A and B are shown apart, each in its own frame.
Chain A
């Protein structure tokens, strides 16, 4: 028993707070989340707003797939400039009950900041992400793919 306990290392709480995604530009967290209570939006929404061929990568805006999670739906729109993610807007975020909507409303601006941070190159993928954020990331990835394949 002592042997196995000795094999464990206790790490300071500082490790837990390794990165803080709140350090994103303030203008990216200013919009209120869009809450939809109507029926789920159609899945076919390749709303390409503009495409510009620029050196270094794709540019344009596209809406990702509607992603479902246990408590509702998430759909985001991504804007890329020269292959870099420059903005993310939530097109639809919908909880199946009031509590979920409240959670989603809190989560949305944070996820948006997280997405922009994560795509800056510091993180490739996330383990143990919450259901909502996984759906968010899923929709975001499909939006990015649409811009790049346009």
Chain B
């Protein structure tokens, strides 16, 4: 979006993987062809991982017509990482818990594919950009010289409000909550939506990890905030059903970060 500095930048929004994905590059002089490459990449990810497409590798794995060893390198890498995150989160991030009897790595694919999209922008020379994929955000640089990216955290109960305002230069912000897309997160042990928590926002260097941590912490319910305080390199804000806000110390710092 052009601003007071007169920088034109690059912008595009497309509807992919079941959500609008917006790319907002604030550098001048970046070849617009990078956006074609970026969205082509996301389309190829959707074709490979979608559980809604019967010919995707994930659908064929679940149908038993494709063996895991014969899947492509992207699928194997994502499934391996899902396993790692399942261990890291004590089973609360579980690609097997979404659809009974089947694997659905969608919860990791979004962040993983956006991380690669960010790398494409890096390689094209972009130094200030935001990618917003269905409310999960990957950022680099500064939109304006005097301050970083201002990220509003959606209020979980009132859709015309934001719950908090973060300002940061680089990193990822992911929010999980029952209010978006209905109750799509279930606690693995009970297969029910967790109670006591409205939303969890996680900030950190990698969007896939932040997204998985937010999903896991939300699934933990009232135990989530304590768990988020143990995370290395990631900070979290949890909004409980009584609208109490619990934040890790680093999250407060991120929220307070101001231009020097």
Contacts and interface: CB of A to CB of B under 8 A. Distances in A.
Given A11-B246, A15-B163, A18-B162, A122 B15 contact: no
A126 B20 contact: no
B130 A124 contact: yes
Interface in B122-158: 130, 132, 134-137, 143, 149-156
Size bracket, chain B contacts = 35 or more
Size bracket, chain A contacts = 35 or more
Nearest to B239: A16
B170 interface: no
A70 B150 contact: no
Contacts of B15: 65, 67-68, 135, 138
A4 B229 contact: yes
A65 B159 CA distance: 22
A12 to B, nearest CB: 8
Contact of A13 (B143, B161, B243): B243
At the interface, is chain B mostly helix, strand, loop or mixed? Answer: strand
A127 B22 contact: no
A125 B129 CA distance: 11
Interface in A25-51: none
Given A22-B160, A134-B19, A125 B137 contact: yes
B18 A128 contact: no
A111 B149 CA distance: 21
A82 B155 CA distance: 31
Given A9-B249, A125-B137, A128-B201, A57 B2 contact: yes
Contact of B152 (A110, A118, A141, A144): A118
A43 B248 CA distance: 44
Q: Which of B150, B155, B162, B243 has the most A CB atoms < 10 Å from its CB?
A: B162
A19 to B, nearest CB: 5
Contacts of B134: 129, 131, 134
Given A125-B149, A127-B136, A10 B245 contact: yes
Nearest to A14: B245
Interface of A: 1, 4-5, 7-13, 15-22, 57-58, 65, 67-70, 83, 107, 110-111, 113-114, 118-119, 121-135, 137-139, 141-142, 144-145, 148
17 contacts: A11-B245, A11-B246, A21-B161, A57-B2, A70-B18, A83-B2, A123-B151, A123-B165, A124-B151, A127-B135, A128-B175, A129-B134, A129-B180, A130-B135, A134-B19, A134-B20, A137-B22
Which 7 pairs across A and B sit closest by C-beta, in order of nearness?
A128-B175, A138-B20, A110-B160, A128-B154, A7-B229, A11-B245, A138-B13
